[in-house]
Chain A
Amino acid sequence: MNAAADFSQAGELVCPAGTPAALRTAVDAGADTVYCGFQDATNARNFPGLNFTLPELEASVAYAHARGARVLLALNTYPPAGKFDLWRAAAANAARLKVDACIVADMGVARHIATEYPGLRLHLSVQAAASSPEAIRYYCQHFGVRRVVLPRILTIPEIHAIKQETPCEIETFIFGNHGLMVEGRCSLTNWLTGESTNMDGVCSPAGKVTYEEDADGGLRSCLGGFTIDRFAPDETAGYPTICKGRYAAPHRPEGYYAFEEPVSLNLARLLPDLMGAGVHAFKIEGRQRSKSYVRKVVGAFRAAVDAIRAGATPDLADLVALTEGQKETQGAFQTKKWR
């Protein structure tokens, strides 16, 4: 275990990095831990031009460890039959490069790592959608999972109750994309594009996305040839994902957000409550975002967590400009009445 791999302090800030430059930016901005992925289907942000080669990850781990930060490798997709070698190779490289933990969703991947690399720490991805004490305990008992990333469907009292009945650390998202649906089981992209979020790591693959301007200045976002939203000239836009598409229905012929809205999670004001509920680590979403986003969001939350630890009231920066659709929510964390 490297000197940086001490996960004991609560309030850990877990930050995204899609490129080596973003990883260095996150570490320099105060991330305790950075998570990233390889340039293949083993992670759920398998986007063009994004992610790390082996030499890049090796250099990035060295950079982080030299500054007391940790690196987690996302292996959080589900290997389809006949393609296990890609995930086996990624696990072997994770162990060889001494990443501090792997974030897994699939039981087979978890078992493989637990068996072949027993010293490699396992975190359970939000993609596993483990939302009950029974489910979480199963992963802990059978695969030695040390931390669970909770789905974004639980209130803070529910998180507190789960913490009382589980033997592992709890990590929750605090900022970023809020496409929750049934995490790890969403097949909407497969249905429209033939590519799988959960097995290929591509939700709304960019190669199937087009944006078309209408004569009046409106913007249509299309996926696989289907229009999934149309933004008026003065309306903010969102990601081109089906779950955040706007659809006409017999009872809503004008079109409405049938599943979810283009809005980002922002739990900045709930950080003290989350810590009180026993949340050990705070996750910032956005490996697909720029290093500018990483610098601003990580910096803001670093200052907030430090203030809370010092018993002060955090001075929370306004991050709404970085949110999807320039709208933010506390989602289910605040109330089950959300949507």
Chain B
Amino acid sequence: MTDTSAHRTPRAALPAMLPSAPLRALLQPVLARVVRRVAARHPGMFARIAPYQQADFLIVATELPFALHLRPDPQAPLFRAVPRDPLPAHDARIEAPFMLLLNLVDGETDGDAAFFSRDLVISGNTEAVVSLRNALDDVEGSIAQDTADLFGPPGRLVLDALRRRAAP
């Protein structure tokens, strides 16, 4: 199934200091490194998403001027920034505020509850989304922290700042 529906929430201007294209270009090597690290540290998660290892997920943080494209192929995991307007073709789309997405990935927030509250919006192949959610939820530890650690003290500073900003 391919879903090309338009995104629901107007983008906010979190990193508005840079246009989307240069920002995406800057991020690509970082994102590639992140996904390789997660794949290497959590190989077991791919079994839970086996039927959808070639599926194209679009993850849309409502505040960001770009979307993230994930293809959870254990042999060649893909994670890259893509334009939001228009969104590229995809199998499933997951949209929420950035910190909610981060907390979902880290198992700190319940996905069903976020869906009930309408803070989390999904479209496209629901089975693929459920598989991805369950695969991520079986990961022990914090993927966000792993990612921050990858970049040493600066990475941890950024993550701490994001978490402080999102704290109630």
Bound complex: CA A3 to CA B129 (Å): 40
- By size class, the interface of chain A is 35 or more
Closest residue to B115 on the A side, CB-wise? A237
Q: A292-B107, A293-B112 are in contact. Are A211 and B122 (CB under 8 A)?
A: yes
Cβ contacts under 8 Å, B131 to chain A: 48-49
A248 to chain B, nearest CB (A): 23
Cβ contacts under 8 Å, A293 to chain B: 110, 112-113
Q: Are A291 and B118 in contact (CB under 8 A)?
A: no
Cβ contacts under 8 Å, A307 to chain B: none
Bound complex: CA A306 to CA B117 (Å): 31
Number of interface residues of B (CB under 8 A): 35
Q: Are B116 and A291 in contact (CB under 8 A)?
A: no
Bound complex: CA A293 to CA B124 (Å): 25
B119 to chain A, nearest CB (A): 10
Cβ contacts under 8 Å, B139 to chain A: 21
Bound complex: CA A237 to CA B117 (Å): 7
Q: Are B112 and A290 in contact (CB under 8 A)?
A: yes
Q: Kindly identify which residue among B8, B109, B116, B127 contacts A238, using a CB–CB cutoff of 8 Å.
A: B116
Q: Kindly identify which residue among A47, A210, A231, A237 contacts B130, using a CB–CB cutoff of 8 Å.
A: A47
Closest residue to B125 on the A side, CB-wise? A207
- Give residues in A with beta carbon < 8 Å to B: 18-22, 24, 47-50, 53, 205-207, 209-213, 217, 219, 231, 235-239, 262, 288-293, 296, 321-326
- Give residues in B with beta carbon < 8 Å to A: 5, 8, 47-49, 51, 107-113, 115-118, 121-127, 129-135, 137-140
- Some 27 contacts from A to B, beta carbons below 8 A apart, are A19-B134, A19-B138, A21-B140, A24-B140, A47-B134, A48-B131, A48-B134, A49-B48, A50-B130, A210-B124, A211-B122, A212-B123, A213-B5, A213-B8, A213-B121, A236-B116, A237-B116, A290-B109, A290-B133, A291-B107, A291-B137, A292-B107, A293-B110, A293-B112, A321-B117, A322-B110, A326-B117
